[in-house]
Structure 1
Amino acid sequence: MQRNRVGLGAVLMLLIGFLPAISNAQELEPELMELINKGLNKNHELNVNEFEAEQAVLDQKLAKSTFLPKITLNGNYTRLNDDIRFDEDTEKLLLGTQKLLIKEAVGLPFNSEFPETLPLQAIPAIQQKNILKSSVDVDWVLFSGFQASSALKASKHKEASINFAGSALENKAALKIIETYDQLALVNASEKVLKTSEEFLTQQELFVKKAIENGLATPIERKKIELARQQLIGKQLEFEQNKTLLIEVLQQLTGVNREQLNLLDPHLAPFTTVEDQPVEKRDEVKALEEAEKASLSKAKMERNNFIPKLALKGHYELLEDDLSLLDPKWYVGVGLRWNLFDGNQSHLKSQQSRFEALKYREQLAEAEEMIALSITKAELALRASRQNTMIVQKEIDLAKETYEMVDKQYRNDLASITDVLDALKDLEQAGFRLQESYFKERRAQIDLLHAKGQLDF
């Protein structure tokens, strides 16, 4: 019985088309970079981090504003139960003195009677019971005992730490988008393999149907083709569900609408020189270093609480009518404030900040150890994935040769349809494994770039 040889050319051309387009530099695809940029703009953690950085900038401005004069406008009204006056004896003394001065002025003897026709002025109250005041106060710190400068340094280091932590969050978000994008590329490649397999089964199904009609094949062969088609439909459904899920994940990560994401056609393209890149300090390490410096500056600020502080105080009364006889219209003074003992609070707070700095130091040491381990792990994973790619490519070569041999045997009645389907399945699975190997290789390269601090978005 003469068999019709179908599908092999299409399958082989498809598998050859799956070979990755090796890039000459560590550059991500433009469409992937666009997704990353949109994802970074949408990421809620990054937005919160940006707000925290703005707060650190405001802390710096607050520290600087310590040396700016504070001007306060005051106004108040008070009503007493009565005027505040001198006691009765003092008022009599003041009236007697007034009479003596008047008699001296008009030329009357000292011991003569005071004329009743001459008026006397009433003794004014020390303070009227209705008091309306308005004044301006100026408070100006001239020397803060180095607390303000230490607070400024702490807030600057805090801002730098937050910014580096934000860069680390950017890398984390970008890595998630890249991984999802690569998974989508893997699904698309798998779907193309299944599509070619479907074309083969369709042609083989037509051949078996004609063979049965001519008495050259049995219905069992058709049922085997039907079973293979059902299995293929199950795989297609699985990959379609995976693609839908990945589109949903990308939509959540980037905010791009699903219609645009469905138009994506990503391919797995490993890099070539990623392992040659020098190791740079990771943003996580920089963030911990700045956090440690911020804690040390904060501890210094607390210790400086025992250094004397110098400030200027000024006061000016805008309304004079209701001032008492003893109230000044204005005054200016310089004051010294020296905290000798505050119940040990400053010392304890300084100790807290120092322990916080020690905590960051331990986290820094742990981070450096984990980064070194991640570099080794990524390098090993990259070597393993590249070795696996070479093995799978040899498997594909063997599967192609096996398929060609079985197909010839089938055409010459030396093999069954089951053997042909098994050979096609082996070729199909080898194509899947090759794409998975490319995926793992790219993941290892991206992880190595990240471990070495080479990712920059």
Structure 2
Amino acid sequence: MHINLLRTSLLFIALAWINPAKAQQLDPVLKDLISKGLSKSHNSRIHDLEAEQAMVDQQLAKSVFIPKLTLNGSFTRLNDDITFDNATKDLLIGTQKLLIKEAIGMPFNAPFPGNIPLTDVPNLQDQNILKSSVDLDWVLFSGFEATNAIKANKLKETSLNYIGLAEKDKIALKIIEAYDKLSLVYASEQVITTTSNYLNEQEHYVKKAIENGLATPIARKKIELAQQQLASKALEFSHNKTLLIELLHQLTGESRERLSLIAPELQPLSTTSLSNTDKRNEIKALEAAEQATLYQSKMVKSSFIPKLALKGHYEFIEDDLSLLEPKWYVGVGVKWNLFDGFQSKLKSQKAMIESQKYRVQIDEAEEMISLSIIKAQLNYESSLQHTKIAQKEIELASATYDLIDKQYKNNLASINEVLDALTDLEKANFKLKESLFDERRALTDQLHANGNLTSFYN
């Protein structure tokens, strides 16, 4: 009865794993781990911050056209008042007298009346100077330099966003692989447990057979050796389980306690997005970076286009102004860079060379991706075939084991043959689990190669 139960259990597990009706998308627990892993990733966070910096650079470029207001305040004490020289003072006083005589109807050569006060000649600048003013600077036209800078930084932001998405895909692949390896460990433990139970039953049967003179102690030692070998495998899987839980903890930030409670199961994955529907994020990032360098080149070239700006100034304190200083003024100016020693030309050439480097990288990446798509497709097709072969091997190993076990019960086969058949059945089940693991790996690799992985795990 135990023999049939073992064979039935192993066959049921095998058929359940490869049943197409049970093919599924990523299970919710794995999706939740991926989501936490993407939030925790340091590299992903760095890319997000770099993209935010590019957004700030765009705002800085736009701020060129925003008027700038500057408040100024100062106090200055001169060594003395700034005044006219004596000859100029005498001239100004004489002119003042002539004007007064003309105003009262006196001849210009008549003596000046002593009872009429004269106004002192004001200083050009008093000794103590207190100033408070506001300046206005407003760029009206930057010669397209700011406009090209905005476009360059916008494309830089786009490139960094795509790099961040590509990094997230890599993180998702690591989490899926670790999760599937943990599933493989759990599935292997199930088979080991089933095999261990049967060996215990066989040990009991051999013990009775020895007592009745139907078997030798060597048969029991062989079973004990098989149990030790199985225990060694169980210890190996336990260590792998601990390492995988630690890896998932580092990747996702999920607690080790919760990770040890999840029970992942290996199931065939299904998807309808195996065709190449979009460019890889890596290609999009390189293309955006290439366009950004082209706008950087245009930005440098535009330095030779005249710039137009408005300048304004207003003094709040009028009393301390010199006789030559206005209270306010407004003006429009033009700045035209005619020759800068070839600096702009060289910087533009440098940006164009950078653009050509991105183009070479794009061509190389497209070639590598094209090869990876073919390789991933072939691997996926091979993995499906290997899964079918593993199923047939399980059926054959199960039938062989059933036959030899019956022969052993009828003294037509040795205990070595029974243990060998049991080992073959165990290996066949491990091979099926490994084939299913490889199938899931091949599918996710193909999705990644085709640029469809993001939509698969989101």
TM-score, normalised with respect to structure 2: 0.94
Instruction: Report the Cα offset of residue 310 of structure 1.
Output: 0.7
Instruction: Report the Cα offset of residue 290 of structure 1.
Output: 0.9
Is the 1:72–1:138 contact (alpha carbons within 8 Å) kept by the matching residues of 2? yes
1:370 aligns with 2:362: no
Other-structure match for 2:231 = 233
**Aligned with 1:360 (options 355, 358, 361):** 358
In structure 2, give the amino acid aligned to 1:12. Answer: T
Other-structure match for 1:12 = 8
**Aligned with 2:332 (options 326, 331, 334):** 334
> Secondary structure in 2 aligned to 1:314?
strand
In structure 1, give the amino acid aligned to 2:370. Answer: A
Measure, in 2, the Cα distance between the counterparts of 1:415 and 1:24. 39
Is the 1:306–1:340 contact (alpha carbons within 8 Å) kept by the matching residues of 2? yes
- Please give the root-mean-square deviation of Cα atoms over the aligned residues, in Å: 1.9
Larger deviation: 320-329 or 349-358? 349-358
Other-structure match for 2:221 = 223
Is the 2:274–2:447 contact (alpha carbons within 8 Å) kept by the matching residues of 1? no
Other-structure match for 2:413 = 415
Other-structure match for 1:155 = 153
**Aligned with 1:121 (options 111, 119, 122):** 119
Q: Alignment identity in percent?
A: 60
Listed as ranges, the matches of 1:308-347 within 5 Å are 308-347=306-345
Measure, in 2, the Cα distance between the counterparts of 1:275 and 1:219. 60
Listed as ranges, the matches of 1:23-422 within 5 Å are 27-105=25-103, 110-114=108-112, 116-272=114-270, 277-422=275-420
Measure, in 2, the Cα distance between the counterparts of 1:327 and 1:116. 35
Measure, in 1, the Cα distance between the counterparts of 2:347 and 2:250. 43
Measure, in 2, the Cα distance between the counterparts of 1:26 and 1:13. 23
Measure, in 1, the Cα distance between the counterparts of 2:340 and 2:273. 58
Measure, in 2, the Cα distance between the counterparts of 1:52 and 1:369. 28
Larger deviation: 99-108 or 119-128? 99-108
In structure 2, give the amino acid aligned to 1:100. Answer: L
Instruction: Report the Cα offset of residue 11 of structure 1.
Output: 4.0
The one-character-per-residue Cα deviations of 1:274-319 (angstroms, maximum 9, x if unpaired) are 5753442111111111111111111111111101111111111111
TM-score, normalised with respect to structure 1: 0.94
Aligned length: 453
The one-character-per-residue Cα deviations of 1:71-116 (angstroms, maximum 9, x if unpaired) are 1111111111111111121112222323334455566554455455
The one-character-per-residue Cα deviations of 1:327-378 (angstroms, maximum 9, x if unpaired) are 0111111111100111111111111111111111111111111111111101
Larger deviation: 52-61 or 423-432? 52-61
Is the 2:26–2:269 contact (alpha carbons within 8 Å) kept by the matching residues of 1? no
> Secondary structure in 2 aligned to 1:138?
strand
> Secondary structure in 1 aligned to 2:2?
coil
Is the 2:139–2:309 contact (alpha carbons within 8 Å) kept by the matching residues of 1? yes
The one-character-per-residue Cα deviations of 1:224-261 (angstroms, maximum 9, x if unpaired) are 11111111111000001101111111111111111221
Instruction: Report the Cα offset of residue 32 of structure 1.
Output: 1.0
Measure, in 1, the Cα distance between the counterparts of 2:246 and 2:270. 31
Larger deviation: 339-348 or 211-220? 211-220
Measure, in 1, the Cα distance between the counterparts of 2:428 and 2:339. 78
> Secondary structure in 1 aligned to 2:228?
helix
CA distance 1:22–1:29, change in 2 (3 Å): farther
The one-character-per-residue Cα deviations of 1:184-234 (angstroms, maximum 9, x if unpaired) are 111111111101111011111112222223332222122111111111111
In structure 2, give the amino acid aligned to 1:350. Answer: S
CA distance 1:330–1:6, change in 2 (3 Å): same
Is the 2:273–2:452 contact (alpha carbons within 8 Å) kept by the matching residues of 1? no
CA distance 1:129–1:25, change in 2 (3 Å): farther
Is the 2:61–2:149 contact (alpha carbons within 8 Å) kept by the matching residues of 1? yes
In structure 1, give the amino acid aligned to 2:2. Answer: V
> Secondary structure in 2 aligned to 1:140?
strand
The one-character-per-residue Cα deviations of 1:105-130 (angstroms, maximum 9, x if unpaired) are 56655445545554333221100111
Measure, in 2, the Cα distance between the counterparts of 1:52 and 1:245. 33
Gaps of 5+ in 2: none
Instruction: Report the Cα offset of residue 152 of structure 1.
Output: 1.4
In structure 2, give the amino acid aligned to 1:78. Answer: T
Measure, in 2, the Cα distance between the counterparts of 1:23 and 1:138. 73
Gaps of 5+ in 1: none
Is the 2:23–2:267 contact (alpha carbons within 8 Å) kept by the matching residues of 1? no
Instruction: Report the Cα offset of residue 23 of structure 1.
Output: 6.1
Is the 2:3–2:402 contact (alpha carbons within 8 Å) kept by the matching residues of 1? no
Is the 2:10–2:429 contact (alpha carbons within 8 Å) kept by the matching residues of 1? no
Measure, in 2, the Cα distance between the counterparts of 1:308 and 1:49. 37
Instruction: Report the Cα offset of residue 440 of structure 1.
Output: 0.6
